[in-house]
Amino acid sequence: MEKTKIVIANWKMCPVSIEGAKELFSAVQRTCSPKISAEVVVAPPFVYLTELVRLARSFGRGKNLRLGAQDCFWEQAGAYTGEVSPEILKTLGATHVLIGHSERRRYLKETDEMAQKKLAAALRIGIIPILCVGEDKSVRRKGLASAKQFVKKQLLTALRSVSQSGTRHELLVAYEPVWAISSVSGGKSDTPEEAVAMILWIKQLLGAHPFRLATRVLYGGSVNMKNAAGFMELEAIDGALVGDASLRAQEFCVIVKIASSFS
């Protein structure tokens, strides 16, 4: 497993203007100097990708900074109004894509089977998937064993079509307990001890299956500059998926520096 921590910024449906997006991204660029060892991936709304890729290329340094997308469709092209394929994302310059985020599962009724098809499509085209898994409050109330079984189903269904031979692919898994996400919990994160227990179990589960994958497992759930060190200092946690805090340039840059200090 790589020691370098990775921080994913999920901007969701923000900012509301290209000017705001460029300003926020420029602040992240300034932080991602050669002195920063952590990897950073910014996932803005689709419509900002082209402009932000151009900014990234013109900046001329910060090779640890990449751009990703917040979703993709499972077909490469065709009559799928409103969708964006992995091939289009790759053409735009995206290197990563979020798949199965809890908000898409919640609001758009995305299923484990849909996540499976999207993940397979991303791997085929050479984009690194960031597979999001995690239980909601109703599952967690039943205990850790129920939460593990819920996450196990999400993982194994999504990875069902991954080849057991041939090309070795890179995969990021983001464990995001839904009950600890800012928009649901009001900012109450999981504890580092509970998060690492689940992440170690996810790694054990993945290690027991012959997937041709190089996998890192991140924590996502109300990560901010106050609690980031508690998660990043744990060797088993390979990084963080950051939501609301990634929209506050100063705070996100602090998180990146914290991740770098443990890389």
CATH code, domain carrying 164: 3.20.20.70
| Per-residue confidence band for 164, with pLDDT thresholds at 50, 70 and 90 | low
Split into its structural domains, the chain has a count of: 1
Q: What is residue 248's DSSP assignment?
A: S
pLDDT of amino acid 143: 87
Task: Look at residue 1 and tell me if it is in a domain.
Answer: no
| Per-residue confidence band for 1, with pLDDT thresholds at 50, 70 and 90 | very low
| Per-residue confidence band for 163, with pLDDT thresholds at 50, 70 and 90 | low
38-70 pLDDT, tens digit per residue, is 999 999 999 999 999 999 988 765 578 999 999
Residues serving a catalytic function are 101, 176
Task: Look at residue 159 and tell me if it is in a domain.
Answer: yes
Task: Look at residue 245 and tell me if it is in a domain.
Answer: yes
Task: Look at residue 256 and tell me if it is in a domain.
Answer: yes
What span, in angstroms and rounded, lies between the C-alpha atoms of 81 and 68? 21
Task: Look at residue 162 and tell me if it is in a domain.
Answer: yes
> Do the Cβ atoms of 40 and 32 come closer than 8 Å?
yes
What average pLDDT does the segment 112-134 reach?
96
Model pTM score: 0.94
Phi (first) and psi of residue 262, to 5 degrees? -110, 10
Distances (CA, A) of 208 to 120, 126, 176, 196: 20, 24, 22, 18
Q: Residues 159-163: contacts with CB within 8 Å, 24+ apart?
A: 159/116, 159/119, 159/209, 159/211, 159/213, 160/116, 161/116, 161/117, 161/119, 161/120, 162/119, 162/120, 162/123, 162/211, 162/212, 162/213, 163/212
What proportion of the chain, given as a percentage, has pLDDT over 70? 93
**pLDDT tops 90 at residue 180:** no
pLDDT of amino acid 3: 83
CA within 13 Å, CB half, 244: 15
**pLDDT tops 90 at residue 185:** no
Which residues form the domain of 211?
A: 6-261
Distances (CA, A) of 230 to 76, 108, 193, 198: 40, 33, 9, 15
